[in-house]
Chain A
Amino acid sequence: MEPGAPINLEHVARLARLDVEPADIGPLTEALTSILQYAQQLGALDLDNVEPLAHAADLDAVLAPDEVVDGLPMGTLEAMAPSMDGPFISVPKVLGGGSGA
């Protein structure tokens, strides 16, 4: 395997929608790098003619009967939401508000 490029942890954390404390960047980068270094051994394999295996189940396209079935009641779903505004789940402004968008 090609030598791994150094992990840009802040970039990866942004993609993952996670904050990393400045003090944790070093140790986390080191921990992830050690795992990726361990994974470098896969680079010794000749994989050119090997089909990737995404899923071990021997299933083709699975079809369900085209029937209307009941979902969970609206009230049940609303009760799970952290914040409601009338019949709507409320979130901070996406446009024109704070650091959104």
Chain B
Amino acid sequence: MAAAGMIQTHKQTARQAARDIAAGVRSAREVVAAALARLDALEPTLNACIDTFHEPALAQADHVDARRAAGRPLGPMAGVPIVAKDNLCLGQDTYPGRTTCASRMLEHYRSPYTATALQKMLDAGAIVIAKANLDEFAMGASGEHSAFGPTANPWDPARTPGGSSSGSAAAVAAGLVPVALGSDTGGSVRQPAAMTGLVGLKPTYGRVSRYGLVAYASSLDQVGTLTHTVADAALALTIIAGHDPLDATSAPHPIDDYAAAPGQPIAGWSVALVEPAGPVHPAVADALERAARALSASGVRVSQGHLPHTALGVAAYYLIAPAEASSNLARYDGVRYGHRAALAPGEGLQALYTRSRTEGFGPEVRKRILLGTHALQSGYHDRYYGRAQRTRRLIQNDFTALFADGIRAVLMPTTPGPAFRLGEKLADPMALYLEDAFTVGANLAGLPAIGVPMGLTPPHPSHKHTPLPIGVQLIGRPYDEAGLLALAQALEAAQGPTSPTTPTTHGNP
């Protein structure tokens, strides 16, 4: 079933694919057909996708080819296949499919409109081949809390690709597409990027519109990108960034020339290396050290920095995020849309609400709603939510103080370790929540952050384990995505992009 050209395609970046299509080296149909063939071959292993769009995607590819043939201008993503996390609404005009949030609650939901970030990708010529699997309503760090089953890590199918943007990460890492949209509330783009050897960008809160991103925790949610290269992250951000009248929290702040940012001079900049407070895998410590050396070699002054309240981030996050979720998810009541329970004769409105919600939400979502409801209830608000909000201020102040000292970005781990085995942390919710220890800070403080691959774990002596990707993270000043991209480019240049040809996909078409 291998078609010629598939291997070339999956090694391609979005920039290269768009250039090839614009130059007529390959047709958009060839590129999209190859992506779909690879999806068909690997999806039984990966379970990265919820809905796929074979015919609409090929039809869109033909439109791109026809535009080119007619000499009409092409967008910067023209003909490039992408996937979008299935908590981004996608209207029915071109891609008749669902927006499920990987939940039974929205199993049959067809959005009548498209999320702004996704619409901007479509307007730039990108072609959606699938909606990507995720933890239900983006609540999770492993992809295992999906009503449609877990997604496998292309590097080792017995392991998680991370979460909650599990399918987005797996689809890019396995070479189905060069770009995926995800969302990052507490690390849900950066953590899976680290576990699959990708670049994961979470922009500043407000940099990208949240319109059409199904809400989890509104003060933390932000649309982000997963790509193989820093340059592709810059290209995607250029497309999706900007103010949106449909999202009152999107920032009117001017947009930089992100595409030009990678490769900009960084010599003389200062970066604070923040050592992890708790234990991390030796390969994570090693990656952090190599990243610091790579920046130093580029003329960056790397100093030790301290974020004294970052260790409290998980505690604050797991009060704030569930509190906001309990409020946001109150809208799913079985009345206007979503799952409605079948009632027995005589059952009333309360039964409709309660039964619909209990049947529609999975266990992790129900747990977080209960946690948030508890934290917000009368008499408990100050003790939990209030304290968490005050701690959030201290966490933001820590970053502000470093930036005021001239620090351009903070360098720290993305995850405590490489991808763990599916099922390994399900029994201990706190262990799974602590996966977010290094990522929640950027969300709580509203800062941009980028995860960059920094090599692989050493081969296991028993040869039982394939090497697994390790990432590091840079957290920047508000709206300084350009600075982060420039620094990330230096890391990528030192490291070399992690090959998209992973053990699982190697040898496959």
**Distance in angstroms between the alpha carbons of A41 and B326 in the assembled complex:** 23
- Tell me if B361 and A39 are in contact (CB < 8 A): no
**Distance in angstroms between the alpha carbons of A83 and B30 in the assembled complex:** 44
Say what secondary structure dominates the interface of chain B.
helix
Q: Which of A4-49 contact B (CB under 8 A)?
A: 4-5, 7, 9, 12-13, 15-20, 28, 31-32, 34-36, 38-39, 41-43, 45, 47
Can you identify 11 A-B contacts, CB atoms within 8 angstroms? A1-B383, A4-B383, A17-B353, A31-B367, A42-B319, A45-B387, A62-B249, A72-B113, A98-B346, A98-B348, A99-B346
- Tell me if A92 and B351 are in contact (CB < 8 A): yes
Residue interface bits B331-373, CB-to-A below 8 A is 1, else 0: 0011111111001001111111111011001000011011101
Give the chain B neighbours of A92 by CB distance below 8 A: 343, 347-349, 351-352
Q: Residue on B with the closest CB to A56?
A: B446
**What's the least CB distance linking A91 to chain B, in Å?**
6
Residue interface bits A90-101, CB-to-B below 8 A is 1, else 0: 011110011111
Give the chain B neighbours of A68 by CB distance below 8 A: none
**What's the least CB distance linking A74 to chain B, in Å?**
11
Give the chain A neighbours of B351 by CB distance below 8 A: 92, 98-100
**Distance in angstroms between the alpha carbons of A49 and B355 in the assembled complex:** 44
Give the chain B neighbours of A100 by CB distance below 8 A: 348-351
- Tell me if B370 and A72 are in contact (CB < 8 A): no
**What's the least CB distance linking B128 to chain A, in Å?**
21
- Tell me if A18 and B206 are in contact (CB < 8 A): no
**Distance in angstroms between the alpha carbons of A7 and B374 in the assembled complex:** 8
- Tell me if A47 and B109 are in contact (CB < 8 A): no
Residue interface bits B274-314, CB-to-A below 8 A is 1, else 0: 00000000000000000000000000000000000100101
A87 at the binding interface (Cβ < 8 Å): no
Q: Residue on A with the closest CB to B352?
A: A92
Q: Which of B87-145 contact A (CB under 8 A)?
A: 109-110, 112-113
- Tell me if B112 and A35 are in contact (CB < 8 A): no
B377 at the binding interface (Cβ < 8 Å): yes
Given contacts A35-B430, A82-B340, contact A16 B326 (CB under 8 A): yes
**What's the least CB distance linking B394 to chain A, in Å?**
6
**Which of the residues A28, A38, A57, A91 comes within 8 Å of B318, measured between beta carbons?**
A38
**Distance in angstroms between the alpha carbons of A86 and B185 in the assembled complex:** 40
B216 at the binding interface (Cβ < 8 Å): no
Given contacts A34-B430, A80-B112, A100-B349, contact A9 B387 (CB under 8 A): no
Residue interface bits B443-459, CB-to-A below 8 A is 1, else 0: 01111000000000000
B219 at the binding interface (Cβ < 8 Å): yes
**Which of the residues B113, B336, B357 comes within 8 Å of A18, measured between beta carbons?**
B357
**Distance in angstroms between the alpha carbons of A101 and B348 in the assembled complex:** 8
Give the chain A neighbours of B387 by CB distance below 8 A: 1, 42-43, 45, 47
**Which of the residues A31, A89, A94 comes within 8 Å of B336, measured between beta carbons?**
A89
**Which of the residues B334, B343, B393 comes within 8 Å of A52, measured between beta carbons?**
B393
Q: Residue on A with the closest CB to B391?
A: A42
- Tell me if A9 and B370 are in contact (CB < 8 A): yes
- Tell me if A52 and B429 are in contact (CB < 8 A): no
A58 at the binding interface (Cβ < 8 Å): yes
- Tell me if A57 and B206 are in contact (CB < 8 A): yes
**What's the least CB distance linking A33 to chain B, in Å?**
10
**What is the size, in residues, of chain B's interface with A at 8 Å between Cβ atoms?**
71
**Which of the residues B249, B315, B319, B429 comes within 8 Å of A59, measured between beta carbons?**
B249
B248 at the binding interface (Cβ < 8 Å): yes
- Tell me if B347 and A98 are in contact (CB < 8 A): yes
Give the chain A neighbours of B350 by CB distance below 8 A: 17, 99-101
Q: Which of B411-430 contact A (CB under 8 A)?
A: 429-430
B392 at the binding interface (Cβ < 8 Å): yes
Given contacts A7-B374, A18-B366, A32-B370, contact A97 B346 (CB under 8 A): yes
B433 at the binding interface (Cβ < 8 Å): yes
Top 7 A-B residue pairs of the complex, sorted by shortest distance between their CB atoms: A100-B348, A56-B446, A52-B389, A82-B340, A98-B348, A53-B393, A80-B337
Q: Residue on A with the closest CB to B372?
A: A16
**What's the least CB distance linking A84 to chain B, in Å?**
11
- Tell me if A55 and B312 are in contact (CB < 8 A): no
Q: Residue on A with the closest CB to B338?
A: A82
Give the chain B neighbours of A16 by CB distance below 8 A: 326, 357, 369-370, 373
- Tell me if A83 and B112 are in contact (CB < 8 A): no
B406 at the binding interface (Cβ < 8 Å): no
A16-B369, A35-B318 known; 17 other A-B pairs, CB under 8 Å?
Answer: A9-B370, A12-B370, A16-B357, A45-B309, A52-B386, A52-B392, A53-B393, A55-B446, A77-B336, A80-B109, A80-B337, A82-B337, A91-B349, A92-B343, A97-B346, A99-B347, A100-B349
A85 at the binding interface (Cβ < 8 Å): no
Give the chain A neighbours of B446 by CB distance below 8 A: 55-57
A2 at the binding interface (Cβ < 8 Å): yes
**Distance in angstroms between the alpha carbons of A62 and B68 in the assembled complex:** 41
Given contacts A35-B371, A99-B347, contact A18 B390 (CB under 8 A): no
